[in-house]
Structure formats: structure tokens, C-alpha cells
Amino acid sequence: MMAMIDTQCRFYICTVCFRTSETALECHGHRMVHCDGFLPGDPRLKPVMSRAGELKTRAPRWFWEQVQPAATDEQ
């Protein structure tokens, strides 16, 4: 019997140096943030934009929400 392959991309990333891990490690004195797998075209993969259409950050929305949750509320 063949083993099932998990096709979901789940990982943890350090918000300082962007080191990645399959487990939640501590890096630079804090826990890494979790990233679930997203389907292509998911709006959370796009950068955060202001209401005026200006780029707020090049980071994808899922990452920005982990690091600065209040910042995306004003959109």
C-alpha cells in the first residue's frame, strides 16, 4: 500500500530572518509564525494595499496579518 502524500504546504517562518521550519521553533527570541497552504489565486497571497490602491507592503497579506494584525483592519 502506498503512503498518502500531504499536498498542503504548511510551514513556520521567522519574521526577522525568514528562516523556515516544519515545526514551530524559536528564532531571534520569538516563536516563528505559521503559514497554512493556500490555493493559487488566494487573496491572502497578494500584498496589502491601501483603500487608495497604494502598496503598503510587498509582504503577502497572510504574513502581514501575522506580524501587524491591526494594520490590515484599516483597509
User: Residue 25's pLDDT is what?
Assistant: 93
Q: Where are the domains of the chain?
A: 9-38, 41-75
**Is the predicted pLDDT of residue 14 greater than 70, yes or no?**
yes
Residue 71 has pLDDT above 60, yes or no: no
pTM for the structure as a whole: 0.63
pLDDT in tens, 35-64: 888 888 899 899 988 999 999 888 889 888
Question: Quick one: three-class SS letters along 6-75?
Answer: CCCCCEEECCCCCCEECCCCEECCEECEEECCCCCCCHHHCEEECCCCCEEEEEEHHHHHHHCHHHHCCC
